[in-house]
């Protein structure tokens, strides 16, 4: 266990050093905004996957860290834009970029991060990796559009929910894992296994994220009940609705669909969700996806990196923020 923690700490330090180096390449006028977004914390899960998967297949090149940096740039571009669209004031317990620099500058910072991500990828001169990143960007954006179009939909099905979270969250995590294997020169079956591993922990990640939405603000670093305010239908809300008598459920769904939940109603609902253990019930939905991810890992070569990836999968399921 100690060796694994030391490995993850070492890799995170190398990833952070590469990120700092790539930020320094950018125009000085944009660097403060980028640093605010990227140096506010975060667990570096996505770039960590790229590096650990690549190393699991025998790669030790610096380009692996640069690809991880590209993944993190892309991810943070989506976070900046998400915070503006959601009106979020906090990100990882720190002021969101748009609250410090204004929405116009924040949008431009997100655009710069997206462009910088692509430039890093192009430097690797691997068309397969370029195609995978471009596909990830397109699918992530499509997933976010589907989510926006589904806001305040109290009749959402499990399949529709899964389609949304696979697009907005899981595809990018899948690509982060997959490109590590591609860059390392893994064969087709193992590249597919890396993609599957990332996809399944990506789905699990979002399920746990939805569960954490009703955790206290001091624990998660953002306002609790955000999904309810924004009109997002998640398994947490589904579990809550299942507990209500028919008439109460119909009343709640009508208000939810009309965007008529008051702040007092949101707070009361969150407390009721906690009492009903809706968060843990949602976490349990992630278990099947973690199991599929672990099955995919069996196709990886044995070694410390594979063991670290097993630990990452476990962390995804049990994380508290």
Q: pLDDT digit string (tens) for 108-142?
A: 999 999 999 999 999 999 999 999 999 999 999 99
pLDDT confidence bin for 244, thresholds 50/70/90: very high
Provide mean pLDDT across the span 253-257.
95
Residue ranges of alpha helices (H) inside the chain are: 2-24, 31-38, 45-56, 63-86, 97-101, 103-123, 127-149, 158-165, 171-183, 188-212, 217-220, 226-230, 235-242, 246-258, 263-275, 278-297, 304-318
Closest CA to 112 of 81, 139, 142, 143: 81
| Residue 10 pLDDT greater than 90, yes or no | no
Provide mean pLDDT across the span 6-24.
90
Within 13 A of 306's CA, how many CA atoms are on the CB side? 16
Q: Which of 35-49, 105-119, 182-196, 241-255 has the lowest mean pLDDT?
A: 35-49
Provide mean pLDDT across the span 37-60.
90
Q: Given this model, what pLDDT does residue 150 score?
A: 95
pLDDT confidence bin for 40, thresholds 50/70/90: low
Place of tokens 């790669």: 59
- CATH class of residue range 2-318: mainly alpha
Closest CA to 312 of 18, 15, 50: 50
Closest CA to 119 of 194, 215, 7, 23: 23
Q: How many residues does the chain have?
A: 321
Q: Given this model, what pLDDT does residue 8 score?
A: 76
Say what percent of the chain tops pLDDT 90: 83
Q: Given this model, what pLDDT does residue 204 score?
A: 98
78/111 Cα distance (integer angstroms): 9
Classify burial at 62, counting beta carbons within 10 Å of its beta carbon; exposed 0-12, middle 13-18, buried 19 or more: exposed
Q: Given this model, what pLDDT does residue 222 score?
A: 78
Higher pLDDT, 14 or 222: 14
> What Cα–Cα distance (Å) separates residue 281 from each residue in 8, 93, 240, 278?
30, 26, 10, 5
| Residue 290 pLDDT greater than 70, yes or no | yes
Work out the angle at residue 224's Cα, subtended by the Cα atoms of residues 219 and 225, and round it to the nearest 5 degrees: 150
Within a 10 A sphere around the Cβ of 71, how many other Cβ atoms? Answer: 31
Q: Given this model, what pLDDT does residue 9 score?
A: 82
Within a 10 A sphere around the Cβ of 156, how many other Cβ atoms? Answer: 17
267/264 Cα distance (integer angstroms): 5
Closest CA to 313 of 208, 216, 172: 208
Closest CA to 183 of 73, 42, 47: 47
Contacts of 15 (CB under 8 A, 6+ apart): 44, 47, 48, 51, 65, 68, 69, 72
Packing angle of the helix pair 278-297, 188-212 (nearest 10 deg): 170
Higher pLDDT, 93 or 44: 44
149/143 Cα distance (integer angstroms): 10
Q: Given this model, what pLDDT does residue 5 score?
A: 67
Q: Which residues of 254-272 are buried (b: 16+ CB within 10 A; e: fewer)?
A: eebeeeebeeeebeebbee
| Residue 4 pLDDT greater than 70, yes or no | no
Residue 54 in contact with residue 176, Cβ under 8 Å? no
| Residue 218 pLDDT greater than 90, yes or no | no
Contacts of 137 (CB under 8 A, 6+ apart): 74, 114
59/71 Cα distance (integer angstroms): 17
């Amino acid at each position: 266990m100690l060796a694994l923690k030391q490995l993850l700490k070492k890799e995170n330090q190398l990833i952070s050093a590469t990120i700092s180096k790539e930020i320094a390449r950018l125009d000085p006028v944009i660097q403060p905004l980028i640093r605010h977004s990227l140096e506010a914390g975060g667990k570096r899960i996505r770039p960590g996957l790229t590096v650990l998967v690549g190393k699991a297949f025998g790669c030790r090149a610096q380009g692996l860290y640069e690809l991880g940096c590209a993944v993190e740039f892309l991810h943070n571009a989506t976070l900046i834009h998400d915070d503006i669209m959601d009106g979020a004031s906090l990100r990882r317990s720190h002021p969101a970029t748009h609250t410090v620099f204004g929405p116009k500058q924040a949008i431009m910072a997100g655009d710069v991060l997206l462009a910088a991500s692509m430039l890093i990828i192009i430097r690797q001169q691997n068309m397969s990796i370029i195609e995978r990143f471009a596909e990830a960007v397109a699918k992530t954006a499509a997933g976010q559009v589907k989510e926006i179009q589904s806001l305040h939909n109290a009749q959402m099905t499990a399949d529709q929910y899964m389609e949304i979270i696979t697009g907005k969250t899981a595809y990018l995590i899948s690509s982060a894992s997959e490109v590590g294997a591609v860059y390392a020169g893994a064969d087709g079956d193992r590249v597919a296994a890396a993609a599957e591993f990332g996809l399944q922990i990506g789905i699990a990640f979002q399920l746990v994220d939805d569960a954490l939405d009703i955790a206290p603000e001091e624990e998660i670093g953002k306002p609790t009940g955000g999904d309810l305010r924004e009109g997002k239908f998640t398994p947490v809300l589904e579990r809550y609705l299942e507990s209500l008598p028919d008439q109460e459920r119909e009343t709640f769904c009508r208000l939810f669909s009309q965007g008529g939940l008051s702040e007092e109603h949101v707070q009361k609902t969150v407390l009721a969700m906690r009492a009903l253990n809706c968060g843990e019930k949602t976490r349990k939905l992630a278990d099947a996806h973690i199991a599929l991810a672990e099955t995919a890992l069996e196709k990886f070569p044995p070694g410390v990196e594979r063991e670290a990836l097993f630990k990452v999968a476990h962390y995804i399921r049990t994380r508290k923020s």
